[in-house]
Amino acid sequence: MDIRSFRDGEGDRLRTFWLACGIQLRPGDDDRSLAAFALRSEGLFLVAEEHAHLVGSILAGFDGRRGWLYHVATHPDERRRGIGRTLVARVEERLAALGCPKVNLLVLDENPYAMRFWEALGYRRERTVEYGKPL
């Protein structure tokens, strides 16, 4: 398995992969946004590829105060092989090297499998409620 940075022009491939993983596309998943994210987050926007197929993804950002993780996903046929764990470990290492003191992420409340995954990786559920506003 090859873990590498997202490349320009891979947006369609990645969106198809996310849909196959059951991830709903959100604001920020268009080509322009993905390219901007990749530029700001060098070494933190990773894909895992095997036999020319995408098998995993992770987008991590550091805003100077917190690290944020998005779209951590493993292809349904490749789950429980440690791909998610490996991708998270890779970006945690890079975030720590950048001086990031804490990592956050959001989980949909109807996604118990993701919760088990995060808990297995040492993440703890926090007592916060998400607010948002599209711009």
Ligand X SMILES: CC(C)(COP(=O)(O)OP(=O)(O)OC[C@H]1O[C@@H](n2cnc3c(N)ncnc32)[C@H](O)[C@@H]1OP(=O)(O)O)[C@@H](O)C(=O)NCCC(=O)NCCS
What is the contact surface with ligand X in residues (CB under 6 A)?
21-23, 72-74, 79-85, 105, 107, 111, 113-114, 116-117, 120
Long-range contacts of 70-74 (CB under 8 A, 24+ apart): 70/28, 70/105, 71/18, 71/23, 71/29, 72/105, 73/17, 73/18, 73/21, 73/23, 74/21, 74/48
- Least distance from C-beta 99 to ligand X, angstroms? 24
Give 67 or 84: the residue with its C-beta nearer to ligand X: 84
- Least distance from C-beta 68 to ligand X, angstroms? 11
User: Cβ neighbours of residue 44 under 8 Å, at least 6 residues apart?
Assistant: 59, 60, 61, 62, 91, 94, 95
Owner of token pair 């040492």: 122
Give 41 or 74: the residue with its C-beta nearer to ligand X: 74
- Least distance from C-beta 21 to ligand X, angstroms? 5
- Least distance from C-beta 106 to ligand X, angstroms? 7
Give 21 or 100: the residue with its C-beta nearer to ligand X: 21
Taking Cα atoms as reference points, which of 57, 26, 29 lies closest to residue 44? 57
CB of 111 within 8 A of CB of 125? no
- Least distance from C-beta 115 to ligand X, angstroms? 8
